[in-house]
Amino acid sequence: MYFISSGIAPVILKVVFFCRYIMVPLLWGTAIRYSDIDVSNLDYNRAVLLMAYELIAVSLAIKIYLSLHKRNNTIIESSISLTKRGIIIFVVILLWGFFVLKSPILKMQLFNFAVATKEDLGLVGDMTLSDIYGKVSGVALIIFPIGLVFVYVNIIILIARIKRYPKLKLFFILIACILYISCVWSNGYSVSRWNLIIGVLFMVNVLYVVYPLKKKVINICGASLVTIVIVLGSVLKLMSFGKSDTSVKTVYEYYFNAEFFDEYFSGIVPVANGIKVYEAKYQERSPERIVVDCFGTFPYATKIFGVSDIQVTEKLYHNITKRTELIMPNISISLFQFGWVFSPIYSVVFCLLALWFDNKNSRSVDLYTKLFYIILTFWCSIFMAINVDIICYNLWPSVFGLWLVMLNNKIYQYCVKLIFNRL
């Protein structure tokens, strides 16, 4: 496997590859059976071959990418701007405030330091969080994470101006980072360890900008904090499942086993069940379903393309497994849509996007774009653990946010140029 030496994407890719291709087989070697779902030896074998094919395709894609971008692989130390604001950012923050005040569901996400069970949220039977968030408009769901980043950066800008009290400045920065994490780590019932990690990455990069000479200390603290939030997030996730025993032994037994690792990193059995979907529902694949998988969470996209009545591919996976909490692996969705030969296409695309976004992140010149690129890099980098539906759900707000920042900067530069010309 070929990797560039630095950046967010290579680190995440290595961790996911290690867990999926080394930890999962090792843990399965000590396991007796997989609960609830019947998987034959033939299914296992085909799943292993499909995963191996995916790994080879991704490795080749990385090697080709690095050979084409050999001169651009080094990380550039850019001077990050903490001063640019503008009318677009101001308007988005106002919209964000309006949507938060209007929607109790979005308001629930702000400064959330508690985790609720399904019963607390009124989720009965097969109801999921999607049923709750379906009541919020698509525009509000796009603006909410964008506005949250804009508010976060502007608070950091204000705190960074403190000159006389360095300890007080550090304290306020850490409080601001914690408050941001409190808005993204949980949407009520579900605890997202992925968003917890993103929150820590935000904190690390903010500290880089404010304290550029302390990067070594920040790296050590950041790595330690990532470990802590993963452990803490795991405990909180158990609590959200209604489990009262959250001892070290219980957490270890629940998470450190073949079944959990296999499900969490979309390993052998999830891929095997994805092959079942391909065989049983082959006639239901269509270009329209690809559009729904990729653009289903973008406001009005399904109506514009006329595919509002088509469900995402993952729904077929839930019909086969009878378990709505499971994630259909990317390689399985790609297999269903494109067949065996082109089955790694989603994995290759997202891997290349992760490397490209990471490269753009290293060259960011303002904190707004840097944070959005971190989000894009992170979600694309874990493509093997999740699927295209989840990735696109988290990608579109950041893509739109980047476009707004670019538009804001152009208007800002135009206004500055106009003022100077008149002077």
DSSP collapsed to 3 states, 325-387: CCCCCHHHHHHHHHCCCCCCHHHHHHHHHHHHHHHHHHCCCEHHHHHHHHHHHHHHHCCCCCC
What is the H or E stretch that residue 83 is in?
A: none
Least Cα distance to 273 among 347, 350, 333 occurs for 333
- Indicate the pTM of the whole model: 0.90
Per-residue pLDDT of the chain (423 residues; tens, 9 = 90+): 445 556 889 999 999 999 899 888 888 776 655 555 556 677 788 999 999 999 999 999 999 998 887 655 454 555 666 666 788 999 999 999 999 998 888 888 888 776 665 555 555 555 555 556 667 788 888 999 999 999 999 999 999 888 888 889 999 999 999 999 988 887 655 677 888 899 999 999 999 988 888 888 998 998 889 888 887 777 777 666 666 666 666 766 777 777 778 888 888 888 998 998 898 888 888 888 999 999 988 878 888 888 888 888 888 888 888 877 788 999 999 999 999 999 999 999 999 999 999 999 988 888 999 999 999 999 999 999 999 999 999 999 999 999 999 998 888 788 877 777 776
DSSP labels for 248-294? HHHHHHHHSSHHHHHHHTT-HHHHHHHHHHHHHSGGG--HHHHHHHH
DSSP collapsed to 3 states, 281-340: CHHHCCHHHHHHHHHCCCCCHHHHHCCCCCCCCHHHHHHHHCCCCCCCCHHHHHHHHHCC
Question: Which pLDDT score is estimated for 146?
Answer: 95
